[in-house]
Amino acid sequence: MTPVVDCHKVLRPCLGERVGGDAAFHDVRDGTLFLAIVDVLGHGAEAHDVALQAEDFLRQNWTPDVVETMTGLHAELTGTRGAAAGLGALTLGTGELTYLGVGNTVARRFGRRPTNLVSFDGTLGARMRTPLPQHLTLEERDVLLLYTDGVRAHFRQEEYPQLHSDHPATIARTVVQRFGKPHDDAACIAARYER
């Protein structure tokens, strides 16, 4: 059986805004699933325009090398209000994930071995330290979440006991609804790895 990942995203603008400054993007090419979460500084239409710019760049330019992609996104956002971002590249055949986060985005693995991945200080478009990607191997039925700081960073699995059994579309929606902060944009990508 060929490994697959069921992947879904949910975005919600902050209270009082029609559009938000978060972006979430995923794509599969040549056996690699690429995942990205972007949180532009601020809210509203101007932040939304930068989020669309970031998503368009990623759609056209992502590679399995998350350092190269993040460096390109940093250059793309120079002169804008800036953003935080988390990028992941998952090799479907092996379950190997490479993750790189800059700013206050969150990446977590839920499963037999829960893992919180670290995002480094910085603001894309303004300042970024030397990128240091992290690596882990997903196991059967692991759930991977990427989300912006509009979602409470450290909610406990006990607060969402159905996370392991729910469909990824339900997971992404529930995480934003249950743990989202009303006065901030919120975005979440949920993916389940199946060998």
Q: How many H helices and E strands in the chain?
A: 3, 13
Q: Model confidence at 3, in pLDDT bands (50, 70, 90)?
A: low
Give the list of residues 6+ apart from residue 75 with CB closer than 8 angstroms, or none. none
CA distances from 181 to 176, 177, 185 (A): 8, 9, 8
pLDDT at 1: 53
pLDDT at 129: 87
Q: Is the per-residue pLDDT at 164 higher than 80?
A: yes
pLDDT mean over 118-142: 93
Strands, E assignment, the chain: 4-12, 22-29, 32-40, 83-91, 96-102, 106-110, 115-117, 119-120, 122-123, 127-128, 134-137, 143-147, 186-194
Q: Is the per-residue pLDDT at 54 higher than 90?
A: yes
Q: Model confidence at 194, in pLDDT bands (50, 70, 90)?
A: confident
pLDDT mean over 80-106: 96
Q: Which two tokens stand for residue 25?
A: 């993007």
Q: Is the per-residue pLDDT at 122 higher than 60?
A: yes
Q: Model confidence at 15, in pLDDT bands (50, 70, 90)?
A: very high
Query: What gap in Å lies between CA 162 and CA 6, rounded to an integer?
Result: 16
pLDDT at 4: 65
Instruction: Enumerate domains of the chain plus CATH numbers.
Output: 4-194 (3.60.40.10)
Q: Is the per-residue pLDDT at 165 higher than 60?
A: yes
- Range ranked top by mean pLDDT from 4-8, 24-28, 191-195: 24-28
Q: Is the per-residue pLDDT at 2 higher than 60?
A: no
Q: Model confidence at 43, in pLDDT bands (50, 70, 90)?
A: very high
